Structure formats: structure tokens, C-alpha cells
Structure 1
Amino acid sequence: MATQRYSVTPHPIETLLTWVKSGEIAIPEIQRPFVWDATKVRNLLDSLYQGYPVGYLIAWRNPSVRLKDGSTSSGKRILIDGQQRVTALMAALLGQEVLTKDYETVPIRIAFHPVEERFEVSNPAIQKDASWIPDLATVFAPDASLTKLTREYTVRNPDADQDQISLVLEKVRKIINNQVGIIELAEDLEIETVTEIFIRVNSAGASLSQADFAMSKIAANDTYGGNMLRKAIDYFCHLAVAPEFLPRIEKGDKAFAASEFLPKMRWLKDVNDDLYDPSYTDMLRVAFTSEFRRGKLQDLVALLSGRNFETKQYEEAVAEEAFDKLKAGVLNFINKTHFDRLTMILRSAGFVTSGLIRSQNAINFAYILYLRGRAEGLPAADIERLVRRWYVMSVLRGRYAGNPESTFDFDIRQIAARGVSTYGNAVIDAELSSSYWDTLLPQEMETSSSSSPYFLVYQAAQVKLGDLGFLSRDITVRDLLLNRSDVHHVYPRNHLKGQGLTRGRYNQIANFVLAQSEINIGIGDRDPKTYFSELADQCNGGAKKYGGITTMEELRANLRMSCLPECMLDGEIPSFDDFLEQRRKLMAQKVKTYFEGL
């Protein structure tokens, strides 16, 4: 029979709120700031008033840790499910302000109508209406007197029955005597088990990631500056997306504004670049993996809890060191020079827009590689070359697509053992051998996904090599991607549909070229035999129908840039299948040429 790894205990809401106020239960903001709208808070209070159940809360005890003086400190309970409900109660009954998803602190006022026994979100009309108590928190204030509240209400509402109002207000006050079940999980449970329990019990079906647990450990720590570190992670990610948010932090969070973190991220206010907008998960991965030489975030959670992996004990000294290292990793991540250099490296490899970025984890590991290269003292040019090549290799090979944590862990341990340059170059050479370019890549390009890594890298190759758009005389692929480009079908879609081809066939990436809109529109649905013949005429003094190229030499060069068989200009139009096969090989060779020049 399986051992029960949890206890379920009912507690009055009043006890729960006391625990939160005293810090016995930590609300770690796992689910980020308060996201409920006020009507959900109203519904929660109504359910309590009606005596309905409001679900279980899940708490997970932090392990007890051995302090430096040899004594033991028992761990706090961390609330891992129920944050929104508890925050709602703190706001509505105790008048505490909540932090919204826009990082503003606001009150949530719930009004109560004692005659109709109805809850409502407070608003200006309710506040002017004498039949409402506009803020329920006044009923729960420590010095509130039911007699006085009843008397004041009946003075304002002479028709109200005083005894009835008194009974109703007493019933409202008894809300805090309602019992809520707390499922307390054993402190030695593995994170995967806790995650599984959360998913099964959580009615919304939300899932928690390892990063959520790490953030909960960080936020719940007030000994080593955890909460300030949590804010640094959150605020940086927010500012990267919305630089205009800076004044709100400066005005609304004076403590953070005075910390060492804000000056180091203030540079984001002038940045409107979305090439790499990291989430808190990305930031934790990079900061942790680069500093701790480990890739599994569950290890970070254990270390922040004080776990000594050798003795299997929990020690305060381990937790203190983990917080110091994580802080160093976060400061490295948000450093303007480091962040700018990473995005510059990506751009220098041809990835000039966020539309060419598909794998956030490939960028994350590229950043880790960059930071490790700096830590090892590699020359800047060597770091840049290695990071460029590693990033392209990992995108082409889908290195971090399946189980990124395990691969991060494997790669960083090898880097720690063999050195970033030795290991990085060995992996690149093994993954991208000559047989990859000649055989495997053309096969992998047999796909109809325009967001496939192969087509994204092909476009980056065109940018890096300075290619012109299809049939363009002056407009480069870079210009098209940065402004507006059409993905044009060389063998037009409707032409192929007319022959009965399915979408998966006519949308093969080997049938795609980047072209100006007007060229794309000009070609329309004409079959290649027709428009290639007209292109040849255009270069022999005929009418300019497609773009501005007027010499056969320029036209052949343009086709080579777009990896199109030149024989098409000589009236040799291959069958669609033959064309795709030829073009995949040409595209793969272009990517190879590009990669060798990185």
C-alpha cells in the first residue's frame, strides 16, 4: 500500500489570514500577480456567505534547514495552489491592496447590501447609495462594532429592520469562521510529484513548470533578498516587452527603484527590439545554467531550499550560496553589454527579425555559451563565431526541441569538463558533417511548413550573403524581411491546385521564394513556362513585366541567389517534383556555404 505523502486539515479562514499576515504561510506569487477580476472576488465571498465549498488550498512545507549555529529552522508553508483565493480574501476582508498583472497596486472593494443580502463590486453609484455598505472591509476591521454598524445603517435606511440587519451582518462576519481544507504536502516530495498533484487538484487544469517552483522559492525567501531578486526577474521581462513601464516601477515600487537592480536594467527604456524578449523561465534557465553548470531547474529549487547533494541534508549555508550565485547569474543576464552582444551575434548571423526566431531555448543556450565563453576568458571574436555557429547548428538539428532540460544539463556539464571551445566545436563538427549537407538536409527540407527551422535558416543565409529578392534588381532579402515581403510560389499555387495538387504539395518550402509584392502580383497564376519565357524576352529588349532586371547575366545571377535552376531560362522547365528535388539540393548548398562563412 502506498504511503500517504500529504495531510488534509480544515482551518478557519481567520486562521489562514493570520498565518499569511504573520508569514507562516508564504504566498510566493507562483501564478504571477493577481489576475482575478473583481467579479470573481465577489463570487467567492457570495459562495462563503451561502456556505458553499470554495476548494482546497495546497501548501508545501519548505524543508527544515540546519542553521550555521547547528540549530534547525522549520520551513515555512508555501502556498502553491490557492494564491488567487487567499489574495482575494486579504483584499476584500482586510482591505489590502493587490498587485495586478500590470504591476499596479490597487484596492478591490466589495460592497454588501444587507437587506437583499447581495454582494457587488463597489462602484461610484453604490458608494452614493445609502442602502449599500460600500466596502466590506469596514465590517471586518479589528475595531468594528456590529452594534454601531447596525445603528449607522438603520439611521441611513429608516425602513430597514434593525434586528434583521444585525443578524445579517453577524452572518457576514461569520464568513471567517468557515473552514477551508489545506492539503499539506510532505517536504521531501519530488517536484514532479508536487506538479502532478497540482495539476490533478487544480480545477482550472493549469500546469506549473519547474520555473514556477523556482520563482516560488525565490519569492518566499526574505533572508537572502529573494523577493527583490524575484522582482528583478519579473520587471526585466516586463520592460523588455514594454519599455514604457519603467516610470511605473520607479513610482510604484520605491524599494526596488532604490535597489542595485533597477539602474542595471534602466537601459531597456530606450530599446524597441523584439528579437529576444525573454520570459522569466528563459531568464532563470540562462542565469542558473551559466552559473551553476547544471541544466535542470529542479536542481535550482533544491539548492535554493538548501539541499546538499552530497549529504542529502538541508543546510542554510547551501541556500545562501545558491541565492548569491543566482543573483550573479541574473545580473550577468541583464547586463546591457552582454544582452546587446547576444542580439548583435544573432543579427550578424542573418537573424534580423523576430519572425526568423522560432526556438527560444536555442537562443537561451546561445546566451549561456556566450556567458561561459566570457567566464573562460575566450577572445571576443572566438566567442562570437562559436555562438553564431552553435545557434545555427542547434536550430537546424532541433537540439533543444524535445527535452531541453536534459540537453541543457548534458551540454553544460560537458562544457564544464572540456571547456566551451573544445566541446562546442566538436559537437558542431559531429552534427554538421558533409553527409548532413549533401543528404540529410535536402531530405529534411521536404516540408510544407514555412516556419520550419530549415526555411528560417535559409532566409538568414540569404540575408547574410546579401542576396537580392526574387527578380529584384535593388531590393535585398534583408530589406524585404525588415519591411514587407511576400512568400511567392515559384510554381504558382492556383496553377498547381488546378492540376489537383494538395496544399501539402504546393506549399513545399522548396517552392517558396521571397519577392516584392508587385512582382508576386505581376506573376499571378501564370505557369512557370509562360513567365520564364517572358523573363527571357524582358532581357532581350522586350517589355518589363516582372521587376527591373534587363540583362540575362543579372537574371541568371538573381536565379542563383534564389537557388533556382538556370535551365528554366532556356525553356527547360522541369516537372514540379524534379524542380523541388533540384531546388532542395541548391538550398542546402547555400545554407552550407553560409554556415562555413559564419
Structure 2
Amino acid sequence: MKIETILDQIDLGSMALPEFQRGYVWNRDQVRGLMYSLYRKHPVGSLLVWVTKAESATSRGDQELTPGTVKLLLDGQQRITSLYGIVRGQPPKFFDGNVQAFTGLYFNLEDETFEFYSPTKMKDDPRWLSVTEVMCDGAGKTMQKLLQVPEFQADISTYLNRVNAIENIKAIDLHMEEVTGEDKTVDVVVDIFNRVNSGGTKLSKGDLTLAKICAEWPDARDEMKQRLTKWQKAGYQFKLDWLLRNINAVVTGEALFTAMRNVDAKEVRDGLDTTEKVIDRLLNLIASRLGLDHDRVLGSRYAIPLMSRYLVQRGGKLPNQQERDQLLYWYVHTILWGRYSGSTESKLNTDLEAIEDASTNDSAGALKRLIENLRQERANLALHESDFSGSSKGNRFYPMLYMMTRVLHARDWGTGDELTNHLLGHLSRLEVHHIFPKALLYAHGYKKRQVNAIANFTFLTQETNLEVSKKDPGLYIPAYEERTPGAIATHWIPMDPELWKVEHYLDFLKERRKLLAKAANDFLERLSAGSMPTVIEPEDANFVERAAAYVPGGIDDDEEEERLVRFNAWVQKRGLPIGELAYELIDEETGKPMAVLDLAWPDGLQEGLSQPVCLLIGEGEDVEEAASQGGYRFFSSVNSFRKYVREVVLAEAELEEADA
């Protein structure tokens, strides 16, 4: 079928995009390559369409389908969308992506190259022709303009042939394979789609589940995105796949998406409403009871599907404080020990099986089984000082320190007020403070890992943090102790003045780790409410201190985090997926953390088509090596990453002014 005819069929509504297809993900390099191949009459592959009844078809966008049958694009979306945008000068109705990928494509009459518009290179140069204008105006009108350029006269016949070649792209025949038959259900077609796209944008298990849901409930995707947007405004970044995982757990009690196979549209709709309510309740509970009130400190987000299911089994709410705190005790430990960092589905399924009797007044037994599942990996759940010997804001014990500050009555040094979320207001964020300032430690030869040790962090209000700034603790601690007596010690800071000296910094860290471990254990014991069996070690047992696994990388301070947040917003503003802050890179074979990446896109900036990428600010070779081993392309500065986004992903020739 000719390209022009295909575009006409899209306009008429007899060709569309199935709901399960992802959005447009091509970049300008791919668009340019397609046009070059078509111009040179090189093969660009065939199309695959699913011929089905229009009344039963679920297509993307608000495109109105013609009665009878419709062709849904299974393979060829990126090519056809690019061609439609270039030939028509606007995206098709089913478009979902970055329109700049195919906007402003130009052709050079002299060297026959395709490039995207650059004013400094193309302005007032008649050799550069807008491909869209040639397609829309036609070769005849374009030729009339060329005939009026004196310097073109010597090569006019060559130029006219080249203009004709561009317009004739619309007349190129693309081979089209058709999938037809009553037996071609959504399941069968999606399987065909995945086989055809094995080297491209293959649907994930979540995509497949959503495809089946949308076949019966076309508005499902939009309804789910509305919930995600609500939580995003509240300070939580969740993905569609995560929400589906919650719905799956709530409706079926299982982790695997295959459990949704026989769930009808009404059950999914009801499940979404129920899931939204229990997630709201859990986020409020975690924020109010644990003080973990925004995305950066939430941690263990794949524990929430389990907690959602548990809450539903208990009628939507927890009947008493004891049960509430026991569930939170389990949740905190899933953060500390990375319960769902490795094989998420298998571990979640194991834990879901453990709570299946929670609805029959067996809550104590269900919670006990959850704890025992944790003990299978870590026999002793008690914390030790070595557990606080990690570094960086990406460390798993960073949320623990934040939580302790919020709920254990830590006081602000400047005002003496408790740093509780009730005092500061929901979602108010404390600022991390280096007790020993970085500049002072670096000047005395301490290494980055030591400088950014968890035990050197505490949290203060913005006002006090700015007031303390980069002062020597040997000077500012006595001053604040006199101003607000006892406030310093509420942050588990050793009160021996000798330990406030920079030459005794390592001794300070050791003593503070002891204080942190004791405070954390006391709090967790209270959370357990006494009903959980306690592991009591004999007094004469020789305790071998656990060596804390060093996980390199992570965000050092609020200033660095703010830079990352601004860049993340810059990327999202350009129609690209949002990255994950302080992403924990896991070894797939061992399930152990390899590094904490400052800002990462595990699925690439073009999901399914490009390799994982990350931004690493001020990290060492160990983090860079871990990122490379994990298959990531990494950038060590915002400017270099920005250039990559512009010139490779978006292929913008004119750089915008820096805005981050």
C-alpha cells in the first residue's frame, strides 16, 4: 500500500493504533535515517496490521473509527507516525510522544542530506528546503521557487529531480501483512506483537495486563494516570506498573500479573477505587507514624502492594494500634534490608501467601509469618552500629535516620522545637546537614566516603541549617547547647567536646553510630509492641559484628539533590520519561546492591529502544564501573547529559539557554 494511501486511511479512521501500543519513542536520528532510506529507495521493512471489527476495537487517542473493519498497526507505528508528521505537518490523532522528533526536517539540495532546522546554518540559504513544505505544497510549487534563484540555474535539472524524489516518497509502496480471523483475540495479537518486536519495544507484563484491561475498559489508562498525578502532586513519584501491581495484589492476592487473566473490567474498576483508598491510607499512616512523608525517604515501595492487600483483608483499616505498629515494624525492616530490591515478584508472592489468613482474625499469625520471611534472610533483625557505617543519601539507612528525627522528638537547635511532621506540616521537608562540614573534612584529608557518612548527617530546619552553615562543630555545638540546652543530644550526637574536634572525626562517627543503633532498636522494639518473638542472645555469646556492605554512590547534600531535581524536570518538560533519584542498582544474579546512581533511567530515555542512562555527579570510578557493568551509559555532568539529550535524543541543533 502506498504511503499516501496509508496516511489517508489514518485520516479517515480506517487505520489506527491499538490501545496496548506504547507511545511514540523515536528520536531525530531515527527519523532522519528513515527519510534517507526512503529517498534512496532502500527497503524500510513491511507493516503488520490487525484487521478487526471497528465496534470492538480499542484504539489510542480520540480518533473516530469508520464503521466496519479497521486496521490496527502492530508493527510500523514509529515509521508511520514519523511519515504522517512530516507529510501532514502535524502528528496523527493517536499520537503520544515528543512532536519535536519529526518537526523541522530539512533537505539540502546540494549534498542530499536531511537535517533538522538550525537557523545559524540554514537561514537565508535557499539550498535548504523544508521537507514538510515540499510534501504539502507539491513539487510543482517548490520548483517555481527554485527557478527564481539565479545561482541554481546551472544545476536546476538536478535540483528538480531531487525535489521530485522527495515528493515521490509518498508514492512508495510499503508491504503490509494482515492478521485476520475470529480467533485473533487481544491475547493472541499481543503475543504476535511481542514476537515481531522481539528486538524493539517489547511489551512488559504490566503492558500486557493493561492491554487486556483496556480491551474491556478503554478509559483504564487515563483513570490510572489520574491517580498517579494526584500522588505526584502530594510528593510521591509512582509508575503505572507499580499501581497495576497494587491493583493485582488487592484484587487477586497474588504478585504475578497472570493472576489478572480472568478478572473482568468491573472488578478492575472496583479494584482501582479500593486500591486508591488503601494507598491513600497507607501513605498517610507512614507519614504520620513514621514521618516518611515524601518520595525521597519513602523506601520499599513494593512493600505497599502487600500492605494494600493486608489492609483490604482487614476491612480497609487496622483495628488497633498494636497491629498497626507491627505492620509498620515489618515495613521498616523491608526498607533496611532491601526485601524487594532483587526478585520482586517471587518475594512479594511469598509474602502475599503468608498473609492469606489475615481476614480470618489471624492477623498475629500473618504478621509473624511476614517477619519470619525476613528472618530467613537475616536471622537477627536487631540493628548494630556497623549498620550505620554506610554513606550517602542513597543508603538504605538514610530514611531510617530521617524517620528517627521525625518521630523520636529530635529538636531544632535554633528554636528548640521538636522536628515532627505535625509541627512542620504535611510534606514539609527537613534539610540534611553535615555535622562536620564537608570543606573542613576535605581540608584535613578525609575521603568522600568518610565525609558523607550517614553518621555525619542530621536534619534541621532550613533556617537553622543556613545559620549553622559551614561552621566548625567545636565552635557551634557549645553555642547552641547554651542557647537551647539538650537540643544537640536529641540528634544522637556524642556530647564529649573532644569528639567535636576535626582530628577526632572518626572517633566521633564511631560513637554516634552506637547512639543511633541504640535509639533505632529502642524505637523498633516499641513498634513491635511486644507480641513479636524476640531473639535473645546468650550473655556470654561472642557477637561477631556484621560488616556493613559498602554501597558506593549516592546524593551528598540538598544542593546536589536540587540540581538533580531541576535537571529531571528539564528532561520531563521535553516529553521524556522522568528519572529515578538515588536509584539503587542491583546485581540481578545476587540481588545485592552494586551502587547508588544519582539520577537514573533504567529503561532508557526512549523506553524499549535505548540503553539505560544515568547522571553521576562527583562520583568515583567505583560507581562509574558499577554503572557500566549494569549496562548504563553514564554522564558525569549536567551539561554533558543535557547535550546528549538535545543532540542525540532530540537532535536539537540550536542549544537553549541553560535553565537548571
In the alignment, is residue 358 of structure 1 matched against residue 299 of structure 2? yes
In the alignment, is residue 342 of structure 1 matched against residue 285 of structure 2? no
Counterpart contact for 1:91–1:97, Cα < 8 Å = yes
Q: Which digits, 9 at most, give the CA deviation of each residue in 1:421-452, with x for residues without a partner?
A: 355421454367897454x4544323123332
Q: Which runs of 5+ in 2 are unaligned?
A: 53-68, 531-660
After TM superposition, give the deviation of residue 406 of structure 1 in Å.
Answer: 1.8
Q: Which runs of 5+ in 1 are unaligned?
A: 1-10, 63-73, 140-148, 242-271, 304-317, 536-544
Letter in 2 for 1:328: D
After TM superposition, give the deviation of residue 456 of structure 1 in Å.
Answer: 0.9
Q: 1:524-563 to 2 correspondence within 5 Å?
A: 524=472, 526=474, 535=478, 545-546=479-480, 548-549=482-483, 554-555=485-486, 558-559=488-489, 561-563=490-492
Letter in 2 for 1:395: I
**Match of residue 583 from structure 1:** 515
**Match of residue 87 from structure 1:** 81
Letter in 2 for 1:588: A
Secondary structure at 1:399 match in 2: coil
Letter in 1 for 2:272: V
Secondary structure at 1:514 match in 2: strand
In the alignment, is residue 425 of structure 1 matched against residue 367 of structure 2? yes
Partner Cα distance (2:368, 2:189) in 1: 35
Secondary structure at 1:459 match in 2: helix
After TM superposition, give the deviation of residue 192 of structure 1 in Å.
Answer: 11
Highest Rg: 1 or 2?
A: 1
**Match of residue 592 from structure 1:** 524
After TM superposition, give the deviation of residue 457 of structure 1 in Å.
Answer: 2.0
After TM superposition, give the deviation of residue 332 of structure 1 in Å.
Answer: 2.9
Secondary structure at 1:575 match in 2: helix
In the alignment, is residue 460 of structure 1 matched against residue 403 of structure 2? yes
Q: Which digits, 9 at most, give the CA deviation of each residue in 1:254-286, with x for residues without a partner?
A: xxxxxxxxxxxxxxxxxx421x23221122111
Letter in 2 for 1:425: L
Letter in 2 for 1:283: L
**1:169/1:344 CA distance change after superposition, 3 Å:** same
After TM superposition, give the deviation of residue 510 of structure 1 in Å.
Answer: 2.6
**Match of residue 488 from structure 1:** 434
Q: 1:14-29 to 2 correspondence within 5 Å?
A: 26-28=17-19
Partner Cα distance (1:342, 1:166) in 2: 67
**Match of residue 315 from structure 1:** none
Counterpart contact for 2:303–2:340, Cα < 8 Å = yes
Please say which of residues 383-392 and 501-510 is displaced more in the overlay. Answer: 383-392
Counterpart contact for 2:354–2:370, Cα < 8 Å = no
**Match of residue 308 from structure 1:** none
**Match of residue 255 from structure 1:** none
In the alignment, is residue 50 of structure 1 matched against residue 44 of structure 2? no
**1:40/1:102 CA distance change after superposition, 3 Å:** closer
Q: Which digits, 9 at most, give the CA deviation of each residue in 1:34-65, with x for residues without a partner?
A: 35578965663343122234467688999xxx
Please say which of residues 110-119 and 581-590 is displaced more in the overlay. Answer: 110-119
Secondary structure at 2:355 match in 1: helix
Partner Cα distance (1:211, 1:391) in 2: 24
**1:384/1:595 CA distance change after superposition, 3 Å:** closer
Aligned partner of 1:450 among 386, 393, 412:
393
Letter in 1 for 2:457: F
Counterpart contact for 1:195–1:208, Cα < 8 Å = yes
Counterpart contact for 2:46–2:176, Cα < 8 Å = yes
Counterpart contact for 1:357–1:456, Cα < 8 Å = yes
Q: Which digits, 9 at most, give the CA deviation of each residue in 1:385-435, with x for residues without a partner?
A: 565344323222322111212222233344335548355421454367897
**Match of residue 273 from structure 1:** 234
After TM superposition, give the deviation of residue 25 of structure 1 in Å.
Answer: 7.2
Partner Cα distance (2:331, 2:22) in 1: 31
Q: Which digits, 9 at most, give the CA deviation of each residue in 1:61-84, with x for residues without a partner?
A: 99xxxxxxxxxxx999763x6432
Q: Which digits, 9 at most, give the CA deviation of each residue in 1:368-398, with x for residues without a partner?
A: 43344336x7648688556534432322232
In the alignment, is residue 397 of structure 1 matched against residue 337 of structure 2? yes
Aligned partner of 1:231 among 222, 225, 230:
222
**Which protein has the bigger helix share?**
1
**Match of residue 347 from structure 2:** 407
Q: Which digits, 9 at most, give the CA deviation of each residue in 1:151-202, with x for residues without a partner?
A: 7667777769899969954873454434469799x99999999879856x33
Letter in 2 for 1:444: D
Secondary structure at 2:434 match in 1: strand
Output the aligned Cα RMSD.
5.5
**1:57/1:503 CA distance change after superposition, 3 Å:** farther
In the alignment, is residue 416 of structure 1 matched against residue 411 of structure 2? no
Partner Cα distance (1:400, 1:225) in 2: 31
Partner Cα distance (1:379, 1:463) in 2: 25
Counterpart contact for 2:279–2:304, Cα < 8 Å = no
Q: Alignment identity in percent?
A: 19
Aligned partner of 1:324 among 235, 253, 266:
266
Q: 1:142-291 to 2 correspondence within 5 Å?
A: 169=164, 172-173=167-168, 175-179=170-174, 198=197, 201-202=199-200, 209-219=204-214, 221=215, 224-226=216-218, 228-238=219-229, 240-241=231-232, 272-274=233-235, 276-291=236-251
Letter in 1 for 2:492: C
**Match of residue 31 from structure 1:** 22
Partner Cα distance (1:16, 1:237) in 2: 36
Letter in 2 for 1:212: D
Counterpart contact for 1:442–1:588, Cα < 8 Å = no
**1:191/1:567 CA distance change after superposition, 3 Å:** farther
Partner Cα distance (2:500, 2:16) in 1: 78
TM-score (normalizing by structure 1)? 0.62
How many residue pairs get aligned? The number is: 483
After TM superposition, give the deviation of residue 470 of structure 1 in Å.
Answer: 5.5
Letter in 1 for 2:224: I
Partner Cα distance (1:120, 1:522) in 2: 50
Secondary structure at 1:513 match in 2: strand
Aligned partner of 1:504 among 449, 454, 461:
449
Partner Cα distance (1:166, 1:234) in 2: 49
Partner Cα distance (1:519, 1:150) in 2: 69
TM-score (normalizing by structure 2)? 0.57
**1:82/1:332 CA distance change after superposition, 3 Å:** farther
